[in-house]
A = this chain, B = another copy of it.
Amino acid sequence: MIDKLCIIGVGLIGGSLARALRAKEFVHEVIGYGRSIENLNEAVRLGVIDGVEPTAPAAVRDADMVVIAVPIGATRDVLTQIASALAPDAVITDVGSVKGSVVQDARAALGPRFSRFVPGHPIAGTERSGVAASFPELFERRRVIVTPEPETSPEALARVQAMWEAVGADVSAMTAADHDRILAASSHLPHVLAYNLVDMIVRMDEHRSIFDCAGGGFRDFTRIAASDPTMWRDIFLANRDELLALLQQYQDDLQALMEAIERGDGRWLWETFARAKHAREQLGAGNGAGGD
C-alpha cells in the first residue's frame, strides 16, 4: 500500500500506473508533476491524479513512492532536482527503457540516497502518448523488469515489486547490462528500423499512393513509427553502443539477403524465411499484445 505517490511525468505510462493503483485501491493520494501544465490539468480533470505541485521538489515532499516517468534524457535533471527534497524512507523508481544510463544518472544525482532507487522498466505501452491515452489495464500480464544494483535496498525493491504486482504485472530481475542488451534487440532495433522505413517512404514522391496501397506489414511499421519522437530519441542515444552493434549486424545480414535476391537464390531465401516462421511458431510472440 502506498500512502502518497508522486508521479513525475504524467503521460501514458505514469498516468496508467496512477489509474491502475487507484483502481486497485493500492494508493491513498497521487500528486503529479511535469513540464506541461495543460497535461497536468487534464490529469486532474480525468481523476488520474489528486493534485499538482509547481515544482518537482514540492511534488516529492512527504511522498513514500516517487515514480519518474519522463523521457530518459530528462532523468538525471529530475533526480538532481528532487534529491534533497525526498522523505528519508521514500522509494524512487523509474520506467525508462534503458537501464545502464539511468543507473549512472541516479548514482550521480542521488548520492547516498541511491540505495532507495529501484531501476525499473515496464514492457508496456502503445504508440500514443500523454495522459489522455492512459488506461488502468495497461500493465496487466505485462513484464516489468527491475535491475537492482548491489547498493539497492531490498526493502525498496520489495515495495516497487509489490506496486507493479498490484497492477497485474509480472516482475523479474536482471542486471542493467543484460536488460540493455536484450531490449536493444527486442525493442530498440525494431523501432529504429520502422522509423527508417517510414521516413524513407515519406520522402518519396509517390508516398501517398504507397500509403494507399499499404498492407498489414507496412501498417505495422507506421504504427511503430507513430510513437513519441522524444522518448525514442533518448532511448537510442542512451543505449547507443548496444544498438549500433545490432544495427551493423542488421546491415550485414540485409546485404547477404540482397545478394541472395540478386543472384536469384530461391533456396537460400526459402530456408531463411522458413527459419524465421518456424522460430515465431516455436517461441510465440512474447508479452501479449501491444507495448514496448
| Shortest CB distance A177–B (Å) | 12
CB under 8 Å from chain B, chain A span 263-292: 264, 266, 269-270, 272-277, 279-281, 283-287, 289-292
Decide if A25 is an interface residue (CB 8 Å cutoff): no
Residues in B neighbouring A182, C-beta threshold 8 A? 206, 209-210, 213
Decide if A251 is an interface residue (CB 8 Å cutoff): yes
CB under 8 Å from chain B, chain A span 193-207: 193-202, 204, 206-207
Decide if A262 is an interface residue (CB 8 Å cutoff): yes
Decide if A38 is an interface residue (CB 8 Å cutoff): no
Looking at chain A's contact residues, is the secondary structure mostly helix, strand, loop, or mixed?
helix
Given A216-B224, A221-B220, A273-B195, answer yes or no on A208-B283 (Cβ-Cβ < 8 Å).
yes
Decide if A244 is an interface residue (CB 8 Å cutoff): yes
Residues in B neighbouring A185, C-beta threshold 8 A? 201, 204, 206, 210
Count of identical protomers in the assembly: 2
| Docked pose: A251 CA to B230 CA in angstroms | 24
Residues in B neighbouring A41, C-beta threshold 8 A? none
Given A276-B195, A279-B202, A287-B212, answer yes or no on A247-B236 (Cβ-Cβ < 8 Å).
no
Decide if A123 is an interface residue (CB 8 Å cutoff): yes
CB under 8 Å from chain B, chain A span 206-260: 206-230, 232-234, 236-237, 240, 243-244, 247-251, 253-255, 257-258
Given A216-B290, A233-B266, A270-B229, answer yes or no on A250-B200 (Cβ-Cβ < 8 Å).
yes
Decide if A73 is an interface residue (CB 8 Å cutoff): yes
Residues in B neighbouring A204, C-beta threshold 8 A? 185
| Docked pose: A264 CA to B206 CA in angstroms | 31
- A contact set with B: CB distance below 8 Å: 73, 123-127, 143, 145, 178, 181-183, 185-187, 189-202, 204, 206-230, 232-234, 236-237, 240, 243-244, 247-251, 253-255, 257-258, 261-262, 264, 266, 269-270, 272-277, 279-281, 283-287, 289-292
